[in-house]
Chains A and B, each alone.
Chain A
Amino acid sequence: MGVRKAITGAQAAAEAMRQINPDVVVAYPITPQTPIVEEFAKYVADGVVDTEMVPVESEHSAMSAAVGAETAGARAMSATSSQGLALMWEVVAATPGLRLPIVVSLVNRALSAPINIHCDHSDVMGVTTVGWVQIFSENAQEVYENTLLAVRVAEDSRVQLPVMVNQDGFITSHAVEPVEIFDDALVEKFVGVRSLDRALLDVEHAKSVGPLVLPDHYFEFKRAQEEAMSKVFEVYREVGTELSAITGKQYPFFETYHTDDAEAVVVVLNSAAGTAKAAVDAMRAQGKRVGLLKPILFRPFPYAEIREALKDIPVIGVLDRSMDFGACAPVYSEFRNALWALGKRPAMQSYIYGLGGRDIMTTEIEAVFEELLSGKLDAEHQRYIGLRG
């Protein structure tokens, strides 16, 4: 058993970082991520951790310094949101190619324009194609545990890829919840120490990292990166089992809630999954057989397991908190792909909700379930929840 603390999602990320005590943390403030680096800076200032903290002048430099530190042999971490992620995109894309297991806390916030500081997933959905492992968190407790898990998944010799741990801006990052923090010593043992095998600071074994690679070899580098990504599933399971020994919890690729006998299932990421659970409970109380699937591991995407979990569900509504303008929304798109191979495919409906931090209510999710159960679907068009008329 751990200690229960009343903390925010941002503080939960910082608590995990305190226990990880990384060699290097690179920080640049951006709302709503700022409290993570502020909280961690206090740990540094009070000597609670002995991390080398680098307060850089931009997110581009944040990711660059994290890359430098990690290549040198350090365990490096950072945190960002929205515009910050967009500014660091170039280096974000280079990181998995360099096979650097950096863990970044991403506090999801809408991308400009119009400028908006509140939650949606347009930031992370802009980087899902570049090769980071993506883990989503419903609440502060999951933020904390996923951050610990992420370090081990990233650094596993079969993987060596960066990981982003997502949480919803303000909704999770700034809301105080009870979070169970596990024993420092147990967590320290779990996260271990990063190996110096590939370290640039191992000066006796000079290596060249990040060379120019032309058409004769570039393709093979990228294929190797895909191979590493495919190993994440087994590593995630193994590391999850180890973490279970401390937390007593399970670390599945996704969570299902009342899906076994469900006639309609809603799919939704992060904090809205909590809202959806309340909606499921309300509907179940009325005798309506509905359920929820909450994706956790979004990259790599567990197509086969999702297909198995949803194969008998007649109708599925996928709720996206971002759009892919002129195309299917990103989460919906993945679920359609996953279910394509089924002989008898479920009916599906795409919904967009919550852009720029607009609240989603249990009643709105209940209305989605009613719509799904009614069969009045429009496979050709996405629908909008809570949009002003």
Chain B
Amino acid sequence: MPTLQEIALKTSGADARIVSGHRMCSGCGIGSIIKTVLAASDKPVIVISATGCLEVVTTIYPFTAWNTPWMHVTFENAASVAAGVEAAYKALKRRGKIEGDVNILAVAGDGGTYDIGFQALSGALERRHKFMYLAYDNEGYMNTGNQRSGATPFGASTTTVPAGKISLGKPQWRKNLVEIVAAHRIPYVAQAAVNNTIDLYKKAQKGFNADGPAVLVVLQPCTSNWSFDSSLTIQYSKLAIETNFWPLYEIENGVVHVNTKPSNRKPIEDFLKGQSRFRHLFKPGNEHVIVEMQKMIDDEWARLLKLEESGIQL
């Protein structure tokens, strides 16, 4: 396993698959996520981006930050486009028109994954195309200014479900994408976060090397729309793990493994504090929302540990 320094070297220089000059927001972690994932491939990588932050900031014509074959079509179809690329790869290889191996990586935000791209993802997983799907999850439509998605957590205020005089923000919990993906019985699915590069790198390697489709769901705190100082992205990602809000775990051939178990789980307030989307929860009279959120997190965590302990193959 390479050290952080070795990973850093792989993500920079002339051979880097994505280079500087993109237009990511100051403090955005998507760059770190994509660089780390791309560095984990020992073969050339073909990247298919859904419409979203990453696509917008890396390609404004006539410029591109991609030093690897890259394409984008629409918002909801990264997985089906990747399926087509994989089919072409198989056909052209079989017919002797191309040589060498490639990895195929589809990338989308949570909107393009949990919501509008969900059907395409499910179809591609069910057909077992050999590709990896990377969702960078900033818990809403952040590219367009914080609208609610299926990944937005309970209690968060978004522009489409804002907190107000009679609203406490999003009334539903987010869907569990990792378990939904695991239900497709694919060889590898994992949850990672931007703050833990080594963990992400390992998971990306496993995903690329899996015998079939693989999915990575990576937390990416959004400095612009969660509204925290751009120096705190990694800090918020770390807090998400330390509070068990975002457990790091993987499901390899159906077997659950929790990668990090905080010895002293921090209260969820530590993660919520300082984020504009949760500000309303700290108003007098709204304490019950945080209590409810804490219970949900603790219940989910207990459930996850039970799953792991049981050894049941999902």
Contacts and interface: CB of A to CB of B under 8 A. Distances in A.
Interface of A: 23-24, 26, 50-52, 54-58, 60-62, 64-74, 76, 90-91, 94, 98, 193, 196, 199-203, 206-214, 217
A202 B66 CA distance: 15
Interface string B37-70: 0000000101010000001100111101011111
Interface in B67-88: 67-74, 76-77, 79-88
B71 A23 contact: no
B119 A58 contact: yes
Among the interface residues B44, B81, B88, B97, which one has the most CB atoms of the partner chain A within 10 A?
Answer: B88
Given A67-B73, A94-B73, A212-B61, A200 B119 contact: no
A54 B126 CA distance: 12
Nearest to A221: B61
A57 B84 contact: no
Interface in B83-103: 83-92, 94-95, 97-98, 100, 102
B92 A23 contact: yes
Contacts of A56: 80, 83, 123, 127
22 contacts: A23-B92, A23-B95, A26-B84, A56-B80, A57-B119, A58-B119, A61-B120, A68-B87, A68-B88, A72-B46, A73-B92, A91-B73, A91-B77, A94-B74, A196-B97, A200-B85, A203-B46, A206-B67, A206-B69, A206-B70, A212-B60, A217-B62
A71 B80 CA distance: 13
Contacts of B80: 56, 60-62, 64-65, 68
Q: Top 9 A-B pairs ranked by shortest CB distance?
A: A68-B84, A57-B123, A65-B84, A211-B59, A72-B88, A74-B88, A61-B80, A64-B77, A68-B81
B308 to A, nearest CB: 32
Contacts of B100: 203
Contacts of B124: 61
Interface of B: 44, 46, 48, 55-56, 59-62, 64, 66-74, 76-77, 79-92, 94-95, 97-98, 100, 102, 119-120, 122-124, 126-127
A76 B70 contact: no
Contacts of B55: 212
A211 B85 CA distance: 17
A190 B56 CA distance: 41
B71 to A, nearest CB: 4
A72 B126 contact: no
Among the interface residues A66, A91, A208, which one has the most CB atoms of the partner chain B within 10 A?
Answer: A208
B123 A51 contact: no
B59 A201 contact: no
Contacts of B97: 73, 193, 196
A211 B60 contact: yes
B3 to A, nearest CB: 28
A228 B77 CA distance: 26
A62 B81 CA distance: 9
B84 A66 contact: yes
Contact of A50 (B44, B82, B95): B95
B67 A72 contact: no
Among the interface residues B66, B83, B84, which one has the most CB atoms of the partner chain A within 10 A?
Answer: B84
Among the interface residues A23, A50, A98, which one has the most CB atoms of the partner chain B within 10 A?
Answer: A23
A250 to B, nearest CB: 34
Contacts of A52: 87-88, 90-91, 94
Nearest to B65: A208
Nearest to B43: A203
Nearest to B94: A50
Contacts of A51: 91
A91 B92 CA distance: 23
Contacts of B60: 211-214
Contacts of B69: 200-203, 206-207
Contacts of B102: 201, 203
Contacts of A91: 73-74, 77
Contacts of B73: 64, 67-68, 91, 94, 98, 210
A68 B95 contact: no
A208 B90 contact: no
A122 B76 CA distance: 26
A71 B67 CA distance: 17
B81 A64 contact: yes
Nearest to B66: A208
B71 A209 contact: yes
A56 B120 CA distance: 9
A201 B84 contact: no
A211 B56 CA distance: 8
Given A73-B98, A201-B98, A23 B88 contact: yes
A74 B91 contact: yes
Contacts of B61: 211-214, 217
Contacts of A55: 127
A65 B88 CA distance: 9
B72 to A, nearest CB: 4
A61 B74 CA distance: 11
B23 to A, nearest CB: 10
Given A52-B88, A68-B48, A72-B46, A206 B81 contact: no
Contacts of A60: 76-77, 80, 119-120
Contact of B88 (A76, A90, A207, A214): A76
A177 B11 CA distance: 61
A72 B84 contact: yes
Nearest to A201: B98
A149 B27 CA distance: 53
Contacts of B76: 60
Contacts of A210: 59, 71-73
